[in-house]
Amino acid sequence: MDWLNTIAERKIREAMEEGAFDDSPMKGRPLVFETNPSVPDELRLAYKLLKDAGFLPEEMELRKEIWTLRDLLRTIDDDQERRRVALEINDRVFRLNVLWKRSFNHEDRQVYVEKLRKKLG
């Protein structure tokens, strides 16, 4: 990827010399980088492209749904509805585990499982 960085740097320098950034609304403001440390380096560019295009990888979509459902679960008083939402959460966690099993070896998956357990309490 070193050649890609070289090309990008050259294009940025050329644009700066041409004044392409002079009227930028972000001029003088810090850039905000949205990186997810749990995403491997080799997948970050692909995930960013998908995100910018309005798509999430299935793993990220499942995580998002799990968090949303867990937030919803905290607000439900009806026991039957709580069971239904809990089953939905379990279904999505199961699907996420199946995805992990396909894409990671056992040791790597265990690291992610432990981090997820700590984070979720």
Closest CA to 92 of 114, 72, 110: 72
Query: What pLDDT is stored for residue 39 in this prediction?
Result: 73
Write the pLDDT tens digit of every residue in 26-62.
788 887 766 666 677 787 888 778 778 887 778 888 8
Burial of 66 (0-12, 13-18, 19+ CB in 10 A): buried
Write the pLDDT tens digit of every residue in 60-111.
888 999 999 999 999 999 999 999 999 999 999 988 888 877 655 556 666 7
- pTM of the entire predicted model: 0.46
